[in-house]
Amino acid sequence: MATRVNEKTPAERLLEVLGPVDRFHDTDEIGDFGMPARAYMEHMLEPVARAGPTSRLGPLEKVHAFWFAGMSCDGCSVSVTGAQAPSIESLLLGAHPGLPRVILHHPVINVESGPHYMNAHENAIQETLDAPYVIILEGSISDETKALETGGYWSGQGEEPWGPEGEMRTVTTDEWIARLAPGAAASIAIGTCATWGGVPAAEGNPTGAMSLMDFLGQDYRSALGVPVVNVPGCAPIGDNFTETVAAILYFLQGFGPLPEFDELGRPAWLFGETVHQHCVRGAYYEEGSYAQEFGDKECLVEIGCWGPVVNCNITSRGAINHVGGCMNAGGACIGCTMPGFPDKFTPFYKIPPGSRVSTTASRLLGSFIRPLRSYTNSHLNRETRWDLHGDVPTAWARERGEPSLVQDAGHKFYDRMRRSNDTGRKSKNDEELVFGKRVEFTQDKRPKFEQEQEERVLEKTDRGIPQDEES
Ligand code: SF4
Ligand code: SF4
């Protein structure tokens, strides 16, 4: 087997081409730039955030979070702004007991612009930032060494005086990531493009698009020893991301263990099970009832659902605030959280070939199980008195009709099976077991102890003794 010797990661190869940087903006000389001039989001939120009563119990008062967009549609940003548990607002305000407040540097959400926005990034590169930082990537990493060959770039953020002669040049997302990842407390990929390459890495793409973990390499560990954290989905569930961030912050603060991640860096508690295992349509699959077109209520596997083999929790968590989410809203699973997405799931909305085995088996079993369940269901939908024959004191029972002799026999047989081995209440001469205790019964079917107690009370009353004087 071939052994890799000193193989460089794409990040290392990029920095080798670009070389080190040591020139930065002089913000005093820049003057006011953009709108609103010289406004920093951190300073605007600080009076409120600092007032948080119990959020500074650990060593960290705040943590910076640098958000970068690679080859992305911004859908991850949109889904995160809808997160509820916890919400972005509560993280920014340090509203969670024990958590440091998050100083977010997001190219769309922040109020800073131009060099003022880039200021914290520069400080992080120079290791003069006033608190630890994490980096977050949405969108895939493109191979900027390819674009450099023609003097262009695929995706970038801000300008820095990092040209060969100190001239300004656009800094690519890749470069920021390559320079900042080694010093980050954690590197988090959000969305399938950042976690596995996603749509920009589909067959035929010219950009060399790849995931954050492929860019940084398998040996990457953050400054605190954490491998790349992956929260996939296209778009991901916002709560999956904010909950993971909160778990990591608790760890950084020393209040919790390192959250459990699977071998692909996914939060294990969120991606450990398949969509199918929590799907609201699972019972239809089991009974062999399948939708034939969108809008049908049954299982969607025959119109292209890959749920049985896809790790995703959207059916139990919902898309936003426990509402919506693929099958809950009528959509088939196209495997958007998976490393093989999209190429291994196309063409979409076509029955996955492997599912034919289990759907055929479920159909066969279902043709037998469904009538049995329907029979029992109709029996359970009747009060017991409606099953009596003759004069029954309810008009509704007779609306439902008397049970036929065959039904009677079937239900009696079923009831006998149901009551076999019933240890809760079993006749034995004139004794019965009530909740496991043997109780004697009188001839008129009353518990004997009740009758004895009543007799004692009557005896005392006859003798004129008040009841509460009983010794
Ligand atoms: S709709 Fe998909 S996930 Fe749901 S039960 Fe059917 S195959 Fe499974
Ligand atoms: S159910 Fe499938 S398509 Fe829907 S979010 Fe999960 S992985 Fe993506």
Q: What is the pLDDT of residues 208-226, one digit of tens each?
A: 999 999 999 989 999 999 9
pLDDT of residue 458: 75
| Residue 464 banded pLDDT, cuts 50, 70, 90 | low
319 vs 436 pLDDT, higher one: 319
Would the CA dihedral through 48, 49, 52, 56 be positive or negative? Answer: negative
Pick from 399, 397, 344, 407: nearest CA to 375: 407
> Which atom belonging to ligand 1 lies closest to the Cα atom of 274?
3
Which ligand ends up closest to the CA of 311?
A: 2
Q: Which pLDDT band, with edges at 50, 70 and 90, does 363 fall under?
A: very high
Q: Is the CB of 332 under 6 A from ligand 2?
A: no
Ligand 2 within 6 A of 228 CB?
A: no
* Tokens coding 109: 């959400």
> Rounded CA gap, 31 and 21, in Å?
23
Smallest CA separation from ligand 1 atom 8, residue: 276
Q: Choose the most confident range, by mean pLDDT, from 21-30, 87-96, 359-368, 444-453.
A: 359-368
Residue 471 pLDDT level (bands cut at 50, 70, 90): very low
Does residue 300's CB lie within 6 angstroms of at least one atom of ligand 2?
no
| Residue to mutate (ligand 1; options 277, 281, 314, 357; most atoms within 8 A of CB) | 281
Averaged pLDDT for residues 85-103? 90
Q: Which of 23, 20, 4, 11 is nearest to 145 (CA)?
A: 11
For the entire predicted model, the pTM comes to 0.84
106 lines ligand 1 (CB under 6 A): no
Task: Report the residue among 310, 316, 344 best suited for mutation to probe ligand 2: largest number of ligand atoms under 8 A from its CB.
Answer: 310
**Could you give the 3-state DSSP secondary structure of residue 5?**
coil
| Residue with more model confidence, 411 or 192 | 192
- Centre of ligand 1 to C-alpha 367, Å, is 19
Q: What is the pLDDT of residues 392-437, one digit of tens each?
A: 666 665 666 778 888 889 888 888 888 887 766 555 555 555 555 6
pLDDT in tens, 321-334: 889 999 999 999 99
Determine the distance separating the centroid of ligand 2 and the alpha carbon of 317, expressed in angstroms: 12
In the three-class reduction of DSSP (H, G, I as helix; E, B as strand; rest coil), residue 65 is classed as: strand
- For 152, how many CA atoms within 13 A lie in the half-sphere containing its CB? 8
What is the average per-residue pLDDT within 61-66? 93
Q: What angle do CA 63, 67, 68 make, to 5 degrees?
A: 150
